[in-house]
Structure 1
Amino acid sequence: MSLPDELARVLRDYEVSWAKSDAAGLAALFTEDGYVLRPGRSPVHGREAILAAYKNSGGPLALKAYAYETEGNVGYIIGGYSTDPKSPEVGKFVLAIRRDDSGKWFIVADIDNGN
């Protein structure tokens, strides 16, 4: 599925930051009050907590959108992830997103689970 450029940017920036193990880059993709909800772990709330949670995390990542929708300044992206675009998917995700006053989309909540 092809996403509009402004939504595709969210996924591409996530992939690039994850591949570089760039916790600051990842945290910057989230709203100040964003959430990361990972299986078997407590919720992570807020950009600073997301930065701390993602320190020493990263590696190859390929995100693929299955569906998306936006209404006004809110929306979602549903998809799957793998370590390489040609590899089988190893998990699924849902991103809740919100557009700020400048028109840029940020992640409000990142929910993922492995296959």
Structure 2
Amino acid sequence: MLCSLISVSTAFSQEADSSATNQHASITLPPEFDRVLRDYEQAWRNHDAQALAVLFTEDGFVLRPGHPPVRGREAIEEAYRESGGRLHLRALSYEESGSVAYIVGGYTSTPKWPDAGKFILTLERGPDGRWLIAADMDNGNR
């Protein structure tokens, strides 16, 4: 996720985006879904590709703009090996039905800035009851 965050965040630091006033309001997620976002943020900030990969199902997907789909924890870890930095995720919507769920949200490198992009996470409940990412798709706002 968030492969274009660094270049987009640089642009935001130089000029305000007029879309800031058009942002949808954040929502509060149930703790088990919020944990997915906070764990993702922490792993990204720590440049920890292994910690990112374990947030996914064994056969999870990462769908980044300009890249072919990545499938499986090992491939996800490799794809994110050189990634990371400041990251703030916020939820716009979510839904849960049985053992599947999704979160729609926005991301930026600093909470005070407008969203640099948006994402959708498709989640599956793991065997231990924790929610894991089955698919992660994001794209920038520019």
- TM-score greater than 0.5 by the shorter chain: yes
The root-mean-square deviation of aligned C-alpha atoms, in Å, is 0.5
1:9 match: 35
For 1:66-105, list aligned pairs within 5 A.
66-105=92-131
Higher relative contact order (CA 8 A, sep 6+): 2
Unaligned runs of 5+ in 2: 1-26
Partner of 2:135: 109
Identity %: 58
User: Cα deviation per residue 1:46-75 (whole Å; 9 max; x = unaligned)?
Assistant: 000000000010000000000000000001
- Aligned partner (choices 62, 69, 92) of residue 43 of structure 1: 69
Larger Rg: 2
Tell me which of 51, 61, 69 is aligned to 1:25.
51
Q: Secondary structure at the match of 1:110?
A: strand
Q: How much has 1:101 moved relative to structure 2?
A: 2.3
Aligned-partner Cα distance in 1 for 2:101–2:53: 19
Cα distance in 2, alignment partners of residues 87 and 23 from structure 1: 25
Runs of 4+ in 1 over 2 A off after TM superposition: none
The count of aligned residue pairs is: 115
Give the distance between the partners of 2:126 and 2:70, measured in 1 at CA: 21
- Name the CA distance, whole Å, in 2 between partners of 1:59 and 1:101: 31
Residue aligned with 1:36, SS: strand
More helix by share: 2
| Runs of 5+ consecutive residues of structure 1 not aligned to the other structure | none
Alpha-carbon separation, structure 1, partners of 2:127 and 2:69: 27
